[in-house]
Structure 1
């Protein structure tokens, strides 16, 4: 699986690159038909507490799979976004049979 990571309104973080890549790798092991992931980290300056945003779009057979979370820290945003993707992938797995 190819992972592309972008940072909007903030500097690049190697720690977040590693964290999100590790989490997405676990997802890719469960669902081997995921082709790639587009990850966007964004900092919303006017949000006092919950300005940390993680958006992930997955390329896989069928309609696009997308989730995003806005939290007080990026780790939590990644965790919640990937949990949401996992739920969508479970549903897709039931309707999508692969060889």
Structure 2
């Protein structure tokens, strides 16, 4: 699986990329239909201290793309929640494909 990282108003981080790559490759091993993952990290000014560090992930696979976004006080939590959301979406897609 090809993985592309983009940063908006955020300094690039090797540790974040390593963690994201590891989690996405696990998804790719489990769901071989995934072709590519685009990961976006960005900062947003918010009034809450619990949000503002956003992780968006878009997965390319046959059919419509899958997308997940989350905002927490750190990028690791945002990444983890986005991956969890994508796993649920992939499971639904896989079940739908089995029924055809």
Q: What is aligned with 2:73?
A: 72
Q: 1:13-92 residue pairs with structure 2 within 5 A?
A: 13-49=13-49, 50-92=51-93
Which whole-Å CA distance do the structure 2 matches of 1:46 and 1:33 have between them?
Answer: 36
Superposition misfits of 4+ residues, deviation over 2 angstroms: 45-48
TM-score normalised to structure 2 length: 0.92
Tell me the CA shift for residue 75 of structure 1.
0.5
Q: Any unmatched runs of 5+ in structure 1?
A: none
SS at match of 1:66: strand
Tell me the CA shift for residue 47 of structure 1.
4.5
Q: What is aligned with 1:94?
A: 95
TM-score normalised to structure 1 length: 0.93
- What CA deviation, in whole Å up to 9, does each residue of 1:14-47 have, x standing for no partner? 1101010011011111101100001000011344
Tell me the CA shift for residue 48 of structure 1.
4.4
